[in-house]
Amino acid sequence: MRIIVYGSLRRKQGNSHWMTNAQWLGDHQIEGFALYNLGHYPGVVEDEGTVFCEVYRIDVSTLGELDALRTKNGEYKRQLIQTPYGSAWLYVYQRSIAGRTRIASGDWLKRDDAPEA
């Protein structure tokens, strides 16, 4: 199975260690979503826009770990979307984005408060 990630699970980001057993398939841009800064990590919601992501092949164990990390307390839900690598699970933010900053670039790595490379 595949997963598409857009923030702290991306390569060289704070939670990328969760992807240790994953196989990177490539970069992808998803249309029809907007990216918001939630503090130390982002969330996507369905809206006009483009979000820059990475697609990975993962096993059932990794998906279970990511579900425990992302779907607890109803913060995110998984949604199946199409990518050039096949269908992939995307974690979509479920809470209010009121007062949250939209990341206009659609790229977590290019947000205003991102550390310089």
Mean pLDDT, residues 13-18 taken together: 83
Residue 117 has pLDDT above 70, yes or no: no
User: Beta partners for 31?
Assistant: 50
Pairing of strands 42-57, 101-102: unpaired
Residue 58 has pLDDT above 70, yes or no: yes
- Strands, E, within the chain: which ranges? 2-5, 23-37, 42-57, 76-83, 86-93, 101-102
Tell me the per-residue pLDDT of 34-54, one tens digit each, with 9 for 90 and over: 999 998 899 999 999 999 999
From residue 64, give the alpha-carbon distance in Å to each of 6, 82, 83: 18, 21, 21
Pairing of strands 42-57, 86-93: unpaired
pLDDT computed for residue 70 by the predictor: 84
Region for 70 from its dihedrals, namely left if φ exceeds 0, alpha if ψ lies in -120 to 50, beta otherwise: alpha
Mean pLDDT, residues 58-78 taken together: 90
> Whole-model pTM?
0.91
Mean pLDDT, residues 50-74 taken together: 91
Residue 115 — very low, low, confident or very high, per pLDDT cuts 50/70/90?
A: low
